[in-house]
Amino acid sequence: MATKDPIALIEALENPNVRAFLRMLRHGEGTAGDNGYRVQFGGGLFASFVDHPRQPITRNLGGKPITSTAAGAYQFLARTWDGLVKQYGFADFGPKNQDLGAVALIAGRGALADVMAGRFEQAVIKCNREWASLPGSPYGQPVVTMARARTEYEAHGGTYAEAAAPAFTVVTTAANQPATIATTTKEPAMAPFIAAVLPALIDLVPKLGKLFSSGSDTADRNVKAAEIVVAAAKEAIGARNEQELLETLQADPAAAQLVRQAIESQWFKLEEVGGGIQAAREANAVYMQPNAPGFWLNPAFWVSLAFLCMPLMILADMLFAHPDSYDDTLRTQIITAILALLGVVGAYWLGTSFSSQRKTELGVAGAKQPTV
């Protein structure tokens, strides 16, 4: 007995983007032709739509034998189809029910809203574990490129969500005063191709997943971290773009190892994104500009002073007040720690000063450019 009403699937199937997405899936699965709804794994055809054919077929893919019961336009496994029948009560394996079953699988991956809204890359990423032919699929089978997937989607009428734009809100004021317009900026969007390759990199280096949080307060940090990760991965193997990176990772274990090492080498830089010394410098930038408030109003100055005073007091005690209380090992440890602390504070202030000076130079240079 069915546990879900298929009416929602039927309504979703009326959406042009859903229909275009399904045609794109069929292209990737090799079932785009007239007999696509009858195709079995390996390319043969089954005769009847009365039920899923449930026929295990073995084919060599990538040099190894693979046995599968996949059949139909969306290459449903027998067990997958049985689950859909149990949920929705499909009476047969005909084309209409195959389409509805595919919509149900998209919904099960949490991608139906993305498909309907035209968030194409997001939908592909969510569905690439359901269909092995989609870009970024982890199963090691041949995949279509994201560019080709987009071409097929567009060819069948698929459209995309509008690019993120500032939202404007009219703010009312007192009588006879002009209204003002407040601008609220949407969360920064990650480039689609970077978003497409990121899941494969997280599979390669699982601890990457901990870096990417959800929420508007971390969106900008996520974008910057993703750009660093993907840039390091491409540079490690000489990939010209994200799609070439993804295809190389899937085909070449040695390349995957190089990418893993490259990402690991960037770990300190990744942890600094949105925090650490760089963030402190950015917060401190206002105090380093010409005509800025006095340095005594700068919180970073007082924090640095506090960090320096205590070790200097310990150093004075060790050298002058109670030198006999410190053995050679302890002296070495204290001096090493003090030098490290001085290095951190010095790097912070020298970096801040250089950055401020460079911004000033660029501003002066820009001011001197002739107007056209």
| pLDDT tens digits in sequence order for the chain, 372 residues long | 456 878 999 999 999 999 999 999 999 999 998 899 999 998 999 999 999 999 999 988 767 788 999 999 999 999 999 999 999 999 999 999 999 999 999 999 999 999 999 999 999 999 999 998 998 887 777 788 888 999 999 999 999 987 533 333 334 344 444 433 344 444 445 555 566 667 778 878 877 766 654 444 445 667 777 788 888 888 888 887 777 787 788 778 888 889 888 888 887 677 656 544 454 554 455 455 555 555 556 666 677 777 678 778 888 888 888 888 888 888 888 888 888 777 776 665 555 444 444 444 434 444 444 443
CA distance 149 to 172: 47
CA distance 244 to 24: 20
Give CA separation, 317 vs 123, 305, 330, 335, in Å. 64, 18, 13, 12
Strands (E), the chain: 57-61, 64-68, 167-171, 180-184
Angle between the N-to-C axes of helices 120-127 and 192-204, in degrees from 0 to 180, rounded to the nearest 10: 20
SS3 169: strand
**Residue 209: both structure tokens together:** 């997943």
**Backbone dihedral region of 370: left (phi > 0), alpha (psi from -120 to 50 degrees) or beta?**
beta
pTM over the 0.75 mark: no
The per-residue pLDDT for 114 is 94
Among the listed residues 130, 103, 94, the one whose alpha carbon sits nearest the alpha carbon of residue 14: 103
The per-residue pLDDT for 299 is 66
Catalytic annotation, pick one of 11, 14, 29, 361: 29
CA distance 297 to 292: 10
**Residue 219: both structure tokens together:** 């969106």
SS3 185: coil
Sign for the pseudo-dihedral over CA of 114, 116, 118, 123: positive
SS3 167: strand
The DSSP secondary-structure symbol of 143 reads -
What is the second-level CATH architecture of the domain 7-155? Answer: Orthogonal Bundle (1.10)
CA distance 159 to 278: 40
CA 235 to chain centre: 18
CA distance 364 to 67: 69
**Residue 319: both structure tokens together:** 């050298």
Give CA separation, 320 vs 10, 199, 305, 323, in Å. 85, 58, 22, 6
Please, where in the chain does CATH 1.10.530.10 lie?
A: 7-155
Residues with Cβ within 8 Å of 97's Cβ and at least 6 positions away in sequence, in order, are 90, 91
Q: By the 8 A CB rule, do 146 and 121 touch?
A: yes
β pairing state of 180-184 and 167-171: antiparallel
- Does 130 qualify as catalytic in the annotation? no
Q: By the 8 A CB rule, do 28 and 21 touch?
A: no
**Residue 220: both structure tokens together:** 């900008």
